[in-house]
Amino acid sequence: MSRSSRAIGVLLLALALPAAAQQKYAGIGRPATPDEIAAWDIDVRPDFKGLPRGSGGVAKGEQVWEAKCTSCHGTFGESNEVFAPLVGGATKADIATGRVTSLVTGDQARTTLMKVSTVSTLWDFINRAMPWNAPKSLTVEEVYAVVAYLLNLGEIVPGDFVLSDRNIAEVQQRLPNRNGMTRDHGLWDVKGKPDVRNVACMRDCPVDAKVASALPDHARGSHGNLREQYRPIGPARAVDTSDGGPAAAAAPAASPLAELAKAKGCMACHAVDKKLVGPGYQEVAAKYKGDGTAVAKLAAKVREGGSGAWGPVPMPPHPALAEADAKGLVQWILEGAK
């Protein structure tokens, strides 16, 4: 059923609603309108129920990818910098069988294209949640195009391919891991059968005499100074690991501008001392050192967006950020973000 005819059906049902269904909780809730349902009913199921009509090709997908996706996922979807890699590890033979061999051998870190068993999942997720810092900003064509580009990076579709609602079911039959999954296990149903049956032995139970694994020395201080992560009373004290490993997990008191940067979401993509999705703040400070126009220039960039200064990855616009806040934040960054 098309969206519009389904919506009309829903409306008719709502009008014909039996009185009994609403009487129990009189005055609670109201009918959802067809437009409201259409606005939120964005899920796309494996049988493609919910998939909007449309199409998008690999070439268009490449443009969208370079503008909006490379910063986190890399030019070829291979990046492991911010999130797990999307592309790699599946072969032509896997496309033929629908089972990814490297999942059996374990000689390849798992990528999205090794795992995904339904192409609808890619469409649905990219449409609802990507790009990471601007979800739901892609058009229907852009979503088709990005899915097509991703599949092309995985050599599942050719470079001139145009993905559409009409051919997506055929693409499903080329997914490398389309047969590599099951719901037949004990962790779906609350009454499901557990994998293991341990017994509650109480005396002289068989155990392996050895300690099979112990915390490596380097990991003792890997989570900051444990001494600061407990309390000064009780049956035990936390050990002092201040001499082992990176800085304590608890950050020192930050300046109000550091708090503002956090609250405004800047720190989702930037760090002070290193490149994350965008450049590190210390790098920014070094680049604009001595530039008297930097505050005004960069504050405008923060609010309006921009790209080019740090490679092709764009800085998205932040129109909701007040000009004074933008200037304050830029000033703070240029002073070393302390």
Partner 1 sequence: MHRGHPKPGRILPAPEGFLTDRQGNAAERGRRGFLKRALAAAGGVVASGAAPGQGTPRGESAILELPEHTKGLGQPVAARVYGVPSKYEQGLQRRESPGLTRVSAASVSFAPLQGMFGIITPNGLHFERHHQGWWDIDPSQHRLMVMGLVKAPKVYTMDDLMRLPAVSRMHFIECGANTGMEWGNVAVPTVQYSHGMLSCCEYTGVRLATLLDDCGFDRKNGKFVLAEGADGSSMTRTISMDRALDDVMVAYAMNGEMLRPENGYPLRLVAPGIQGVSWVKYLRRIEVGDQVWGAKDETMHYIDLMPDGRHRQYSSIQECKSVITSPSGGQTLLDKGFYNVTGLAWSGRGRIRRVDVSFDGGRNWRTARLEGPVLSKCLTRFNIDWVWDGGPAILQSRAIDDTGYVQPKINQLRAVRGTRSIYHNNAIQSWRVAETGEVSNVQVF
Tell me which residues in 60-119 interact with partner 1 (CB under 8 A).
81-83, 99-101, 103-106, 110, 112, 115-118
Instruction: Please give the Cα distance from 123 to 144 (Å, whole number).
Output: 7
238 binds partner 1 (CB under 8 A): yes
Smaller CB separation from partner 1, 237 or 338: 237
129 binds partner 1 (CB under 8 A): yes
250 binds partner 1 (CB under 8 A): yes
Smaller CB separation from partner 1, 99 or 327: 99
- Give the shortest CB-160-to-partner 1 separation in angstroms: 28
The token duo for 43 is 């899920």
Q: Which of 183, 253, 292, 320 is close enough to bind partner 1 by CB under 8 A? A: 183
226 binds partner 1 (CB under 8 A): yes
Query: CA dist 321 to 251, 266, 294, 324, 333, Å?
Result: 25, 11, 18, 8, 16
Contact 59, 142 (CB under 8 A): no
264 binds partner 1 (CB under 8 A): no
Q: Which of 2, 35, 158, 182 is close enough to bind partner 1 by CB under 8 A? A: 182
Cross-strand bridge partners of residue 222:
224
Closest CA relative to residue 282, chosen from 292, 291, 271: 271
Smaller CB separation from partner 1, 6 or 327: 6
Amino acid present at 211? V
188 binds partner 1 (CB under 8 A): yes
6 binds partner 1 (CB under 8 A): no
- Give the shortest CB-178-to-partner 1 separation in angstroms: 11
- Tell me which stretch binds partner 1 (CB under 8 A): 56-64, 122-130, 252-260, 300-308: 122-130
Cross-strand bridge partners of residue 224:
222
Closest CA relative to residue 70, chosen from 83, 60, 58, 54: 83
9 by DSSP, 3-state: which?
Answer: helix
User: Which residues, including other chains, have CB under 8 Å from residue 125's CB and lie 6 or more apart?
Assistant: none
- Give the shortest CB-336-to-partner 1 separation in angstroms: 21
